[in-house]
Amino acid sequence: MIISIDGPAGSGKSTVAEALSKKLGFYHFNSGSLYRAITAYLIDCHIFSSEDKNFAEKINACKLNVRFDHSCQLVFVNNVDYTNRLREIQVSELTPKFSVHPIVRSLVDECQKDFASKNNVVIDGRDIGSFVLPNADLKFYLDCDINERAKRRLKELSLSNKSLTLNDVKKKIEIRDEFDRNKKIAPLIIPKNAIILDSTHLSVDEVVEKMLKIIKKYKK
Ligand code: DC
C-alpha cells in the first residue's frame, strides 16, 4: 500500500508521515532526504552548481539507494552512507538548486518508484501524489497557515539562532512557497484526488488520528 503526503514546507508532512508509518507498521520514506544526499555527494565532488561541466557525468554515474535500519531511513550514494550529512547548512542551501534539475529528479523518481513498488510505504514530499506516484492508494495534501508554519519553524531554528525573528522566518517560507509552486518541473500542487487536511489548529497526533480514520474507511 502506498500513502503519499505532500504539502508546503513546514506543514508537518515529515513528522506526520513518521508517526503515521509507525502506527501502520509501514516504512516512512522521506523524499527530501534523497535530494539532500545527492547534494552532499556533489559537494564532496566539488560541484556547487548544475552548470559545472562535470555535473551531468557525476549524476549519470550515481547509484542512489535507500535502506532501513529498523525504522530509520538511510540514504546511500555510490554505497557511501550520507544520512548524517543531510541537515548540513550548505546541503540545505544547495539542495533547492540541484533538485530542480531533470536528471536529478529522474534519479530520485526511479528510486522512489522502485521502493514503493515493493513495500508498504508512507512517502512524503512535494510531488509524490501528483507526479511520482499518481496511482498511490491514498493521497494526502497537508496544508497549514503560513503564520503557524513560521511559528513552528522559528521554534526549531531559535534553538541554534536566538536572533531570528518571526518575520525573518515568514519571509523565507514565502520565498520557498513561491519557488516550490512555480518551478517548471514537478511544482507543488494539490494532487488529483488528494484528501486535503489543514494542520493549522491540529497537533501531530490529531492529524494522524484523522488520517488513520480515512485509511480505515479506505481498507473496508
Ligand atoms: O523537505 P526537505 O526540506 O527535506 O526537502 C529538501 C529539498 O528537496 C527542498 O529544496 C525541496 C526538494 N524536494 C523536492 O523538490 N521534491 C520532493 N518530493 C521533496 C523535496
pLDDT of res. 29: 97
pLDDT of residue 159: 83
> Which atom of ligand 1 is the closest one to the Cα of 124?
18
Mean pLDDT computed over every residue of the chain: 95
Predicted local distance difference test score (pLDDT) of residue 140: 98
Q: Which residues contact 2 (CB under 8 A, 6 or more apart)?
A: 116, 120, 121, 123, 133, 135, 136, 137, 138
Weakly modelled stretches of the chain, pLDDT under 70: none
Quote the pLDDT of residue 161. Answer: 81
Please indicate whether residue 96, judged by its CB atom, sits closer than 6 Å to ligand 1: yes
Q: Considering the entire predicted model, what is its pTM?
A: 0.93
- φ/ψ (deg, to 5) at 143: -105, 170
Give the model's pLDDT for residue 154: 92
- Cell 557511501 locates to 80
> In angstroms, what is the span from residue 69 Cα to ligand 1's centroid?
22
CATH number for 2-206 (one of 3.90.920.10, 2.40.160.20, 3.40.50.300, 3.40.50.920): it is 3.40.50.300
Give the mutation target among 39, 42, 66, 95 for probing the ligand 1 site: most ligand atoms within 8 A of CB. 95
pLDDT given at position 219: 86
pLDDT, residue 220, reads 84
Cβ density class 175-201: b for 16+ within 10 Å, e for less: ebbeebeeeeebebbebeebbebebee
| Residue 126 beta carbon below 6 angstroms from any ligand 1 atom | yes
CA of 202 to the centre of ligand 1 (A): 23
Q: Is the distance from the beta carbon of residue 36 to the nearest atom of ligand 1 less than 6 Å?
A: yes
For residue 31 and ligand 1, the question of a CB distance below 6 A is answered with yes
